[in-house]
Structure 1
């Protein structure tokens, strides 16, 4: 029986500053307010999993092996703030990739829910008690398709105007990660906001 609850987290633009196709650990920095928000969420017993599309592999910008250093850097930044990351899941595919082995459509590339489903299966996670937090509608759709509640962190308020299907409708929209954490905490404690 699955008994853990989790927060699935997009990486670029949600946890860390978005530097397109970055695999350089030296350029990885937590966004302001993320550590504090995760600390508060962790106190409620949530496990944390990164679920990230990494099309730079399929496009030949960096190798899949380069993602080990990215994960290590993220683990280091979080652990320095007392936060344990339970898993790091990535999709190296893209249908228009230039590296043939990765140039394909797949079930793991968000907005598909494959990474969330795999993490839940591998870690005894109840998806109906879990959340997906991300900064684009593909993140929201993946979470909704997996059966999670979802938060769109839409700092610039550009994404919310693009919502066009039920799968893209988040449970909540937040202006920053701190607000996202507050909304999840209130819902977890009260069943509503």
Structure 2
């Protein structure tokens, strides 16, 4: 008996991106917009996605707010700088809670992904999340979205091994999702 290979899933209609370590260089608890530095090639990849009609959003844990390291206004100013350098993004979801707060929004919980999907008017199955740590992958899986891990120096080996898909960089992640790359 001959079986056909599984067809590739359709390309996502929207891509959600982790902020720190995925689209901008990770500066822990950054409250200074002047320290925002795009990841190499991020602008070109994001512009390529926009050019193909893919909707974009950012989902970011910002526990520095709960820990008192940064204020919400500082995080908002950093996000505005990210938007200026890499935007526009149709949706921003920010979790201001710490790991011990037990909220539903903090990755690896699905809250921010589900909220972003609702705000975009899409089902989670129509969305993908690209991030650099296991919590990003966990949030996507918990929400029912696709995901691709782009490891950095802080990504743990077990997170790489457990990820549904792994790419060397943002452009590779976009290719794995079937939406091409610039």
State the TM-score, normalized to the length of structure 2: 0.85
Change (3 A) 1:18 1:151: same
Instruction: Answer yes or no: is 1:7 the counterpart of 2:7.
Output: no
Of residues 163, 168, 172, the one that matches 1:169 is 163
Deviation at 1:156, TM superposition (A): 4.5
Query: Does residue 103 of structure 2 align to residue 90 of structure 1?
Result: no
Unaligned segments of structure 1, at least 5 residues: 97-103
C-alpha contact 1:153 1:177 (8 A) present in aligned 2: yes
- 1:132 and 1:140 in contact (8 A); partners too: yes
Q: Partners of 2:31 and 2:93 in 1: how far apart?
A: 15
1:127 and 1:146 in contact (8 A); partners too: yes
Q: After TM superposition, give the deviation of residue 157 of structure 1 in Å.
A: 8.9
Unmatched segments (≥5 aa) in structure 2: 1-11
Q: 1:95 to 1:177 in 2, by over 3 A?
A: closer
Q: Within 2, Cα distance between the matches of 1:175 and 1:34? A: 13
When the two structures are superposed, what TM-score results if normalisation uses the length of structure 1? 0.80
Residues 45-124 of structure 1 mapped to structure 2, 5 A cutoff: 45-79=53-87, 84-96=88-100, 104-124=101-121
Contact 2:42-2:86 within 8 A present in 1 as well: no
C-alpha RMSD of the superposition: 2.1
Note closer, same or farther for the CA distance 1:50–1:6 as it changes in structure 2 (3 Å cut). same
Contact 1:14–1:153 under 8 Å retained in 2: yes
**Which stretch of structure 1 is more off in the superposition, 39-48 or 114-123?**
39-48
How far is 1:188 from its partner?
A: 4.4
- State the secondary structure of the residue aligned to 2:148: strand
Q: 1:152 aligns with which of 146, 149, 154?
A: 149
Of 165, 172, 178, 1:179 maps to: 172
Equivalent position SS for 2:72: coil
